[in-house]
Amino acid sequence: MNENLSELLTTLIQVVIIPSIPILVAFLAQLLRAKSNQAKIKLNNDLAKQYLQEATEAVIQAVTYTSQTYVDSLKKQGRFDADAQKVAFATAKEVALALFTEEAKKMIAELYGDLNVWLDTKIEQTVKEQKTFITLMEPAKETEA
């Protein structure tokens, strides 16, 4: 009986297990490739988020800087006209670009196709958000006084 069991196990190994090894190896290789690709995609997404966050923060800083150093003084003097708005926009754009890392510039260009278009719209959005915030805060200032 031991001999029959031994022959049966040997036959089972030769007929079932040995032929299935290449299939299992191929499956494992494919699984490892998929996991590797998944890790690369996550890494790229995390980097893209980081660069976009850094770039957005740079735009906010640039718009705030321009507002504090240029726009506010011209508004007090009543000289913030269309030409001054163009200068303020160009200044904010220049400051933002100076704050961007080269990696962030490349990532935004890859994600959105054109760094300048993204930057222009982000500056406009930030200016609008700051104006809205200031407008919302004005009634609170009046009630405090």
In a domain, 5, yes or no: no
* Per-chain mean pLDDT for the chain: 83
In a domain, 26, yes or no: no
Please tell me the total count of domains within the chain.
Answer: 1
Output the pLDDT for position 105: 93
Residue range 28-40: mean pLDDT, rounded = 69
Measured distance CA(37)–CA(62) in Å, rounded: 37
Output the pLDDT for position 70: 85
In a domain, 33, yes or no: no
Measured distance CA(68)–CA(91) in Å, rounded: 12
In a domain, 31, yes or no: no
For residue 107, give its domain range: 39-144
